Structure 1
Amino acid sequence: MTNARDTKPGYLRTVAKLAAGVILTIGGTPTVPAAAGEVLARPTATFLDSIGVVSTFEDRGQPYEKTLEMLRFGGFRWLRGGIEGLREDGPLKIDSFLRLHKEAGVKISWGLGSGIGDLDRLLSTGRILAEAGALLAFEGNNEPNNWPVTYKGREGGGRASWLPVAELHADLYRAVKSDPVLADYPVWSVSEPGAQTDNAGLQFLEIPENAGTLMPSGTRFADYANVHNYLYHPNVPDPADNKSWDAADPTSATSVDGLFGNFGRTWANRHKGYPEAALADLPRVTTETGVAIKGAVDEAMQGVNLVNLYLSQFSRGYSYTSVYILRDRTDEQGAQTYGFFRPDFTPRLAADYLRNLTRILADSGRREAPDRLDYEISPQPATVHDLLLQHSDGAFQLVIWGEALVGESKVQVTFREKAKQVELYDAIKGSTPIETWTDTSQIELGVSDHPLVLKLVF
């Protein structure tokens, strides 16, 4: 998890939407009516594959069988793992990850972890996962600002030079891409490159010409930028509208420690990275984000924040998102209320809501060439967002979620053609339809603070 910052840009709520429109004011609330037109759907399975989680394991007192049970309950598709805590004689062995892949279907992102520089071990264990079909990607060091790294006899990260961190990660990238077993797997960057002291260049996936970095131009570190964009940040510690939408914003408009502060202009020392206009298309993942139950955030708010988070992240360009944490940690002090599950392994509302959503959307196949759908949502307040998916059976799944703290927005969803059948699901109520329509081209909805799903058959 990241440290407190006071160097980030101030809060600016964005109302950017997928469809352009004129900003109106209706009843005092800014709205953006989506322009009518065809929208290309995303495969439902691609969204489901993006849903990941951080977890503890046997080395920290969490039994394997309970981990398996919780992963299955929530419908998580991938798991953040790595060589930290891994021992040949256990209690945490590589076999645990192989079994979780075999028995729960999850894939594993495989990282160096906190303060570890053992590249050979990362690669050798990564090959075992790859040969079993369990590997998702490689990840660089976890938050070197908090856990410095020793590489080739020199310590880097923290308040010291970050050059050893950069050299380690450049070597990691070259080693993966030159390995006949591993070459096709993506490499994710270190997390928190925005904390760099000197300008080692880790704010780039590949250092461009004339960047003025310590590492030479052309140095390649990663295929994906990796951020830890927690929703509640020292700049914005309280509940607010559009909490997850703002955290997923790739621009300087975000209020949190996100893509801009790590890859646009570093938050610690203002080293220049990518131009802001280029960030929208930068491949990116999140390996930690989350919401703790504390202060004004109760269990219900945590639940809707987290289920909205996965949708906002995917909608705003994050290929994979891992939430901290599967179950509250019981082996360390501090606020341990981030979990989908309580210490006694019982599910919180967040786990129930996510279970509902993954069951509503459940798809074991994949629509390789999704279709387009012509629809309009009007009016579209700044707190109402949408994501069009298509199931492998051809049905569209239009997810509409709200991020308003108070109140409900009445919106009308209009389709150019009549749908033969429409089913409405509410992710906080369950995984079965709450209303159905036949031969209709218009649906009225009340959208508040959580996802609704329209399953559409034409």
Structure 2
Amino acid sequence: MHAGKLTEVGRRLLAVSVGLAFSVTMSTGGTVHAAEVSARPTAEFLSSIGIVSTFDDRGQPYAKTLEMLKYGGFRWLRGGIEGVSEIGPLTIETFLSLHREAGVKISWGLGSGSGDLEGLIATGRILAEAGALLAFEGNNEPNNWPVVYKGKKGGGRGSWLPVAELQADLYRAVKQDPLLAAYPVWSISEPGAQTDNVGLQFLQIPHGAGTLMPDGTRFADYANVHNYIYHPNAPDPSDNKTWDAADPGISSPVDGLYGNFGMTWAYKYQGHTEDELATLPRVTTETGVAIKGEVDEALQAAHLVNLYLAQFARGYRYTSVYLLRDRTDEQGNQTYGFFRPDYSPRTAAIHLHNLTSILADDGMKETPDSVDYTLEPQHDTVHDLLLQHSDGTFQLVLWGEALEGQNTTTIKLGRRVATATIYDPTTGKTPVAEEKDVSEITLTLGNHPFVIMFR
């Protein structure tokens, strides 16, 4: 159907066919004056999509892990030396095989409570030689799992000096190794809990910071946070749940970048300024949401898919969600998974599978182009991300984060496009509409994304 000949009846049928999701209109006025937006490589977004998982040592067979990773389109996996041994069931070969068969890269960390720096570097070199290594990661939440390093206990409610010394030595060991020097080092998680001001709220301690570790001490290339979207300060469902959790500044209601690297949440030690936080290299190695209370499977799905988009749009280079599949070897609320204990996909897994399939790109456009467009009106709960596929196709992703109701917005392009193809990942991997010679596209968004492709 040509947009210029779309009748009122046709518009109604089109809207009904996708559950009142969108309509397409054609500009009849003069030139649309839009703002130029630089695209980002589609592959860069896809590579940001990571996951936390259990393995054979916790009762999850390798074959099932591989199957779930492939289905979701996950590009990286949070791993580490915790639980790894030479005799198994979890070995370094487990991670090498997942890389070979699923294409995932591995972030390699000390895990919870380990001070084995030598073991981390040695196994990290094996991953690097196989092309499987993504980055090194410091200790996981030393507030919850203290470490012992060089005979001294650190973290928890005691001094954090051993934690800081271990992280500084980790950074130095990686950067002094010719094979590993080019790989980034991610900080510990939850530095905002440090009891004494050892300086872990900085990537590199600046002059005059007054910390216990010396000025100039380098800890990491990336800040690492666990900004779970539900938090004691934000316990209920609300608009912009994932967008607000990804906020790098003081406005974030959760335990995010500001509370760990701006002003520490436990003892209020000063770290990076808000201006510095806006551009601070950052990753998330844990976030997610459980199905419980007011959060049903449908809302979890909306949150988890939107989460990857919001994190990337707000400056997080990599994001890993907890959890691939519900754990069955421990007590507590085990409904965080993309997959159920029987390995069947939850709605979140299906929708993510559709999104990564729609965007699929194994190449990389090194220098993406720009597009002139504006959203009118601009709603607080409607967000956009412009991507460009390696073949040159633009993929404009718009998603809503309205807890209730819907918002309608019009994408006004600075030019007509020959074909605009629209996808809804909640309905499948095939287009829900295709229009010719358009310069305006109107979408009605609730709490999930649409993808608009054009050249």
The structure with the larger Rg is 2
* Secondary structure at the counterpart of residue 201 of structure 1: coil
- Opposite residue 60 of structure 1, the aligned amino acid is R
Match of 2:292 among 294, 304, 321: 294
For 1:324 and 1:406, the matched residues in 2 are separated by: 26
For 1:427 and 1:235, the matched residues in 2 are separated by: 31
* Secondary structure at the counterpart of residue 250 of structure 1: coil
Residue 37 of structure 2 is matched in structure 1 by: 39
Residue 172 of structure 1 is matched in structure 2 by: 170
Provide, for residues 203-238 of structure 1, a one-character-per-residue CA deviation record: whole Å limited to 9, x for no partner.
000000010100000000000000000000011111
In the TM superposition, what are the counterparts of 1:244-259 in structure 2 within 5 Å?
A: 244-259=242-257
- Opposite residue 374 of structure 1, the aligned amino acid is D
Residue 331 of structure 2 is matched in structure 1 by: 333
For 2:165 and 2:33, the matched residues in 1 are separated by: 48
For 1:252 and 1:214, the matched residues in 2 are separated by: 25
- Opposite residue 284 of structure 2, the aligned amino acid is T
Match of 1:146 among 118, 141, 144: 144
Residue 127 of structure 1 is matched in structure 2 by: 125
For 2:215 and 2:87, the matched residues in 1 are separated by: 43
Residue 117 of structure 1 is matched in structure 2 by: 115
For 1:278 and 1:201, the matched residues in 2 are separated by: 16
- Opposite residue 243 of structure 2, the aligned amino acid is W
Q: 2:374 touches 2:412 (CA, 8 Å); kept in 1? A: yes
Residue 243 of structure 1 is matched in structure 2 by: 241
Q: 2:425 touches 2:450 (CA, 8 Å); kept in 1? A: yes
In the TM superposition, what are the counterparts of 1:279-428 in structure 2 within 5 Å?
A: 279-428=277-426
Residue 8 of structure 2 is matched in structure 1 by: none
Q: Assess, with a 3 A threshold, how the Cα gap between structure 1 residues 35 and 156 changes in structure 2: closer, same or farther.
A: farther
Provide the aligned C-alpha RMSD in A: 0.9
Provide, for residues 241-272 of structure 1, a one-character-per-residue CA deviation record: whole Å limited to 9, x for no partner.
00000000000001000000000000000000
In the TM superposition, what are the counterparts of 1:13-24 in structure 2 within 5 Å?
A: none
CA drift of 1:36 comes to 2.5
For 1:236 and 1:174, the matched residues in 2 are separated by: 38
Q: Assess, with a 3 A threshold, how the Cα gap between structure 1 residues 127 and 376 changes in structure 2: closer, same or farther.
A: same
In the TM superposition, what are the counterparts of 1:203-218 in structure 2 within 5 Å?
A: 203-218=201-216
- Aligned residue pairs total 424
* Secondary structure at the counterpart of residue 279 of structure 2: coil
Q: 2:142 touches 2:156 (CA, 8 Å); kept in 1? A: yes
Provide, for residues 35-68 of structure 1, a one-character-per-residue CA deviation record: whole Å limited to 9, x for no partner.
9211000000000000000000011010000000
- Opposite residue 420 of structure 1, the aligned amino acid is A
Q: 2:143 touches 2:194 (CA, 8 Å); kept in 1? A: yes
- Opposite residue 135 of structure 1, the aligned amino acid is L
* Secondary structure at the counterpart of residue 268 of structure 1: coil
* Secondary structure at the counterpart of residue 110 of structure 2: strand
Residue 189 of structure 1 is matched in structure 2 by: 187
- Opposite residue 305 of structure 2, the aligned amino acid is V
Residue 86 of structure 2 is matched in structure 1 by: 88
For 1:430 and 1:144, the matched residues in 2 are separated by: 42
Provide, for residues 167-213 of structure 1, a one-character-per-residue CA deviation record: whole Å limited to 9, x for no partner.
00000000000001100000000000000000010000000001010
Structure 1: stretches of 5+ with no match in the other structure: 1-33
4+ residue runs over 4 A deviation: none
For 2:435 and 2:282, the matched residues in 1 are separated by: 38
Residue 51 of structure 2 is matched in structure 1 by: 53
- Opposite residue 194 of structure 2, the aligned amino acid is Q
Structure 2: stretches of 5+ with no match in the other structure: 1-31
Residue 70 of structure 2 is matched in structure 1 by: 72
- Opposite residue 182 of structure 1, the aligned amino acid is L
CA drift of 1:148 comes to 0.1
Provide, for residues 112-168 of structure 1, a one-character-per-residue CA deviation record: whole Å limited to 9, x for no partner.
000000000000000000000000000000000000000000000000000000000
* Secondary structure at the counterpart of residue 395 of structure 2: strand
Q: 2:33 touches 2:414 (CA, 8 Å); kept in 1? A: no
For 2:120 and 2:408, the matched residues in 1 are separated by: 52
Residue 159 of structure 1 is matched in structure 2 by: 157
CA drift of 1:410 comes to 1.1
- Opposite residue 173 of structure 2, the aligned amino acid is A
For 2:33 and 2:199, the matched residues in 1 are separated by: 41
Residue 201 of structure 1 is matched in structure 2 by: 199
Matched, 1:442 2:440: yes
Residue 259 of structure 2 is matched in structure 1 by: 261
Q: 2:36 touches 2:370 (CA, 8 Å); kept in 1? A: yes
Match of 1:221 among 215, 219, 222: 219
Percent identity for Structure 1 against Structure 2: 70
- Opposite residue 247 of structure 1, the aligned amino acid is A
* Secondary structure at the counterpart of residue 173 of structure 2: helix
For 1:444 and 1:259, the matched residues in 2 are separated by: 34
Residue 273 of structure 2 is matched in structure 1 by: 275
Residue 106 of structure 1 is matched in structure 2 by: 104
